[in-house]
Amino acid sequence: MRQLLSGTAASRGSALGRARVRLPHALDIEEVRIAPEDVEAETARFHDAVTEVRHEMRELRDRLHGALAQEVGEFLDLHALLLDDPELLSGIETLIRSGLYAADYALRLQRNRIAAVFEGMDDPYLRSRIDDIDQVIGRLHASLHSHRAELQGASGEILVTDSVAPAELAQLQAQGVVGVITAGGSPLSHSAILARSLHLPLIVGAPQALIKANDGDVLVIDGATGQIVLEPDAADLQDHHARVAQARQERRQLNRLRREPTRSLDGVDIKLWANAETREDVIEAHALGAAGVGLYRTEFLFLGSCELPDEASQFRAYRDAVLAMTGRTVTIRTLDLGADKADKTGLALKDEPNPALGLRGVRLSLAREGLLHTQMRAIVRASGYGPVRVLVPMISSGEEIALVRRTLDAVRAELQAEGHGMAARIPLGAMIEVPSAALSLSSFIRDCDFLSIGTNDLVQYLLAADRTNDALNALYSPLHPAVLRVLRDVVRIAQRHAVPVTVCGEIAADPVFVPLLLSLGLTELSLHPATLLEVRRAIRSSHLGQLRGAAPALLRARSRTAIERWLDARSIAPP
């Protein structure tokens, strides 16, 4: 019988398929005891499962690539650390040895013990971390029964589950899963960001779907509205096919924009840069007509190896990216690594109490002797093959950008003396993502050739709200009056000193936010290639003069609701 359910739209697209219902974290395991003589074998079975799961996660980590692999890898790295947690492992082994419990039931008991501790915490963020424990426990349970721990799907299915980790989404799509519904989650989560990049329809916050859907039921989901239809009727199917046809037509129209200028209705050119991490990302950016690479992440070189990448390997990667852009500028961000993205070399600290506020970004580069120097040598050498800019993350004061400038100048002198070719000029820019950098920008902007506003971290730090914490969904948003005023101030200072400024992060990749960004005076955006054509279309449908005229009303808004109303009044409907 037809039922209409709803959730929160997280990734656009319409999907029709059979439900595959999974409760990956529900370990409904009966108590099973073992004989004393079986303890050693059961303990070995458990440790074999731990070893297998470690191998699975390494394999999955190695398969990840592309601009969002960094985000996905964070979760795998965290889960790998949990697998080494003595509280988890020794507790399970003690239950096997002392309680004579089978490994499966010991897993359940230990999970429940840890969950009780987490649930008693006052901090909602820490309470939400039980999801990570559940992911690891689920993998171990699957390994004990000799089947793969990742969520399994089949072609033409829509997965209905309590939650889905970012690392699993790409695998699900490769298996043919056409959509995902989760009981929890946020449209601002890492999983939602990755789903949008993959163009995989995703609806979050739909607990009723988990209760009412059964394996094999037919579902229609609309990732643009959050609507779910269980056992659709003829009219629902007709609506779905119409949306799919419209999406195909829209994609064809977007493809025509590959070589069209990114120009507003009143004739103002806007620069669209691409974020990239691999040479393949750079090639895609070139094919889509990006003005250049506005953010080339270098972390992937450091995360995949047990040894620090040397100058030669870094140089080859940067040179290949520069060559792939055939004369368009590549902006190489220096290492943005920290305990939240712990590497295998031990370069980043692993036990920082608050990694988001710890030794990361430029702080790490300046603290580790030779790290910045080696990376700068590789970048400067790559500049001999095409235009390059250097972008420095996590700047909090002018002293840091001055130290990086000093290193860049020293490296240029060294390489010139060694006879290496290089660009006559290599612009140096600062990422504005720490509030102190935004507030003190006037004091050091003369030391910057360009700026890039990292909105993801800037919003997080301004609002003291972790964007990965579902409990803070209502608070974490770029549509906060304080965020808009900081953006406006940074843009004004940059304009006053004739310093180019780009905005990157999720706000730049969403065509809905185009009117807001243009009204604040931004004329350069850097975004993932997956949404570049949609943003270009939104810009071509915008009148810059009218939006600038409406900026005072936007900045007078006192609430997120008022800002949303401003945006709704200027929404750009696809043709």
* Residues labelled as active-site residues: 190, 504
Distance of CA 113 to the CA centre of its chain: 31
What is the Cα–Cα distance from 398 to 403, expressed in whole angstroms? Answer: 9
Quick check: 185 and 471 in contact, CB under 8 A?
Answer: no
Q: Which residues of 393-429 are buried (b: 16+ CB within 10 A; e: fewer)?
A: bbbbebebbeebbebbeebbeebeeeeeebbeebbbb
Quick check: 342 and 334 in contact, CB under 8 A?
Answer: no
- Residues whose CB is less than 8 angstroms from the CB of residue 573 and which lie 6 or more positions away in sequence, other chains included: none
Quick check: 147 and 176 in contact, CB under 8 A?
Answer: no
Q: Going by DSSP bridges, is the β-strand pair 8-11/3-6 parallel, antiparallel, or unpaired?
A: unpaired
Of 13, 14, 573, nearest to 238 (Cα)? 14
Of 487, 437, 439, 440, nearest to 459 (Cα)? 487
Distance of CA 253 to the CA centre of its chain: 27
Of 78, 269, 94, nearest to 166 (Cα)? 78
What is the Cα–Cα distance from 364 to 338, expressed in whole angstroms? Answer: 7
Give 102-140 as a DSSP string. Answer: -HHHHHHHHHHHHHHHHHT-S-HHHHHTHHHHHHHHHHH
SS3 state of residue 502: strand
Of 456, 559, 17, nearest to 244 (Cα)? 17
Distance of CA 573 to the CA centre of its chain: 26
Residue count of the chain, please give it: 575
The token pair that represents 330 in the structure block: 């590549």
What is the Cα–Cα distance from 80 to 75, expressed in whole angstroms? Answer: 9
The token pair that represents 234 in the structure block: 């003829």
What is the Cα–Cα distance from 432 to 492, expressed in whole angstroms? Answer: 14
HEC profile for 285-299?
HHHCCCCEEEEECCC
Quick check: 226 and 207 in contact, CB under 8 A?
Answer: no
User: What's the Cα-to-Cα distance from 127 to each of 8, 46, 107, 287, 347, rounded to whole Å?
Assistant: 22, 27, 19, 44, 29
Quick check: 272 and 517 in contact, CB under 8 A?
Answer: no
| CB neighbour class for 548 (10 Å; exposed up to 12, middle 13-18, buried from 19) | middle
Distance of CA 304 to the CA centre of its chain: 18
